[in-house]
Amino acid sequence: MRLTAEDPAVTAEQFVRSNRDSEYVRLLDNTEARLWSVKKVKEWLEKGFEKETPATFTFSIRILESDRLIGFVGLGGVQWSQGDAWMGIGLGDRQDWGKGYGTDALRVLLRYIFTELNLHRVSLGVFEYNPRALRSYEKAGFRMEGRQRKLYEREGRRWDGIVMGILREEWEQLA
């Protein structure tokens, strides 16, 4: 896969399609699953582009072979003075899960983070009920740093939020 920048109309259409799948939404985010129109999402994206701050970096993910758009990966909350940021990733179409696309996108993003942005570490949060993502982050070199006990309520029970991080020196040893 490769990381790309897309027209807001294209991203919005893909976002809305992915968003119809409530399981995807619950693996991705802790906000309540709900449905948005393409028009609304496009407006947000355009607004976001206008005031894009240097603390956010978002890319779309396309498969190299077919050039198909399958998801996004992004960095937020970059703190330049401390040299760290938070990352997130989502593959909206279930048929693309478990094929190594996410792991590959993480590799490219980490290279970008440590050799272009020159950050010192990256953090991420993952839900206890998402073992697929957890394995993928471990493969990419992230280490478990703790768990926020019973942080979320879903399906009538409470789940931990797991926090992970990778330092530049750890990434250098992998690369």
CA separation for the pair 34, 19 (Å, rounded): 8
Q: Does 83 bind other proteins (CB under 8 A)?
A: yes
Q: Does 30 bind other proteins (CB under 8 A)?
A: yes
Which of 1/28 has CB closer to other proteins?
A: 28
> 3-state class of 163 per DSSP?
strand
CA separation for the pair 92, 96 (Å, rounded): 8
Q: Does 84 bind other proteins (CB under 8 A)?
A: yes
- Per CB under 8 A, the segment of 4-12, 19-27, 42-50, 77-85 that binds other proteins is 77-85
Backbone angles phi, psi at 93, to 5 degrees: -105, 120
Q: Does 22 bind other proteins (CB under 8 A)?
A: no
**Which of 120, 130, 134, 139 is in the footprint of other proteins by CB under 8 A?**
120
Residues 63, 101: contact at Cβ < 8 Å? yes
Residue 15 beta carbon to other proteins: minimum distance, rounded to whole angstroms? 21
> What tokens appear for 121 in the block?
């570490």
Q: Does 125 bind other proteins (CB under 8 A)?
A: no
CA separation for the pair 157, 82 (Å, rounded): 36
Site of interaction with other proteins (CB under 8 A): 30-32, 79, 81-84, 120-121, 123, 143-153, 158, 163, 165, 167
